[in-house]
Amino acid sequence: MSTQPTNRRLTLTELNRKKISGEPITMLTAYDATFAQRIDAANIDCILVGDSLGNVVQGQDTTLPVSIDDMVYHTQAVSRGVEHAFLIADMPFMSYRDNVTAANSAQRLMADGGAEMVKLEGGQPVLSQVRFLTDQGVPVCGHLGLTPQHVHRLGGYRVQGREQRAREQIIKDAADLQQAGALMLVLECVPTDLAGEISQQLSIPVIGIGAGPEVDGQVLVLYDMLGLTVGHVPKFSKNFLIDGRDIPAALEAYAQAVRSKTFPAAEHSFA
């Protein structure tokens, strides 16, 4: 008799297996229970409660005003809708500024919110927090390239890692995050070949958004891929509802496009 529960969430072990076998990992953001149920029903591997909720739910210009209370509220809502997907929650701006603050934030997102992993942005400045959280048993996802919480320092939302020095820094940060204990990495808005090189070098799954097809999986902001976003839609996104009957069909089309590696195409990627 099998000892495996039939209704359970995907695990990091299964995501790692996908990396090894070359089966692309699918991920979308969600902020509420209904969309989480729909994404789950489309058999998408991971749901990210992104602090992009600051932009698409709260109507803020940046993700900076998002608080840990906001993140816990939305993570709880999403968690109620998820049966199968692996659930990741963003640590918002300043919620991981030192080790103890990071641990308190992770506790809230995991114990109160129901997340299985937390994501934080940056390289060298957050290595100590990644190590500390890892030592406490918290699964951590890194986020490099375009890190929206640093938008003012970066001077806008632009492609990162095109110049040699910046490229080398991202490669080093990625290796150091893995060394510090990170178990997944999101790469946002970087050239395809840089993302491919990092995915090859790391043993942990590398998930791209605007990072081309040569990574281990893809994530998009839900409202962008449903064509709901008003105003600027990033070039790396695609409206999957335009050719679909309805939202469930659009979610399935996205999963299928990522798994068959037809998304992202060259027009969604950066050189």
Q: Which of 115, 221, 250, 257 binds ligand KIV (CB under 6 A)?
A: 221
**By CB under 6 A, residue 52 contacts ligand KIV:** yes
**Secondary structure of residue 178 in the 3-state scheme:** helix
Q: What is the Cα–Cα distance from 142 to 105, expressed in whole angstroms?
A: 15
- Report helix angle 127-135 to 164-180, nearest 10: 20
**By CB under 6 A, residue 29 contacts ligand KIV:** yes
Q: Which of 50, 122, 142, 212 binds ligand KIV (CB under 6 A)?
A: 50
Q: Where are the beta strands (DSSP E) in 41-188?
A: 46-49, 86-90, 117-119, 140-145, 184-188
Which residue's C-beta sits nearest to ligand KIV?
Answer: 50
The yes-or-no answer on residue 188 being catalytic is yes
Least gap, CB of 151 to ligand KIV (angstroms): 12
**By CB under 6 A, residue 66 contacts ligand KIV:** no
- The two three-digit tokens of residue 7, written as one number: 């209704």
**By CB under 6 A, residue 70 contacts ligand KIV:** no
Least gap, CB of 113 to ligand KIV (angstroms): 15
Q: What is the Cα–Cα distance from 222 to 207, expressed in whole angstroms?
A: 15
Least gap, CB of 259 to ligand KIV (angstroms): 19
Q: Which stretch binds ligand KIV (CB under 6 A): 49-57, 123-131, 229-237, 260-268?
A: 49-57
**By CB under 6 A, residue 195 contacts ligand KIV:** no
Q: What is the Cα–Cα distance from 58 to 65, expressed in whole angstroms?
A: 9
- The two three-digit tokens of residue 26, written as one number: 């699918």
**By CB under 6 A, residue 144 contacts ligand KIV:** no
Least gap, CB of 186 to ligand KIV (angstroms): 5
Maximum C-alpha span of the chain: 58
Catalytic residue among 116, 121, 188, 214: 188
- The two three-digit tokens of residue 130, written as one number: 């990644």
Q: What is the Cα–Cα distance from 243 to 256, expressed in whole angstroms?
A: 14
**By CB under 6 A, residue 46 contacts ligand KIV:** no
User: Which positions are catalytic?
Assistant: 188
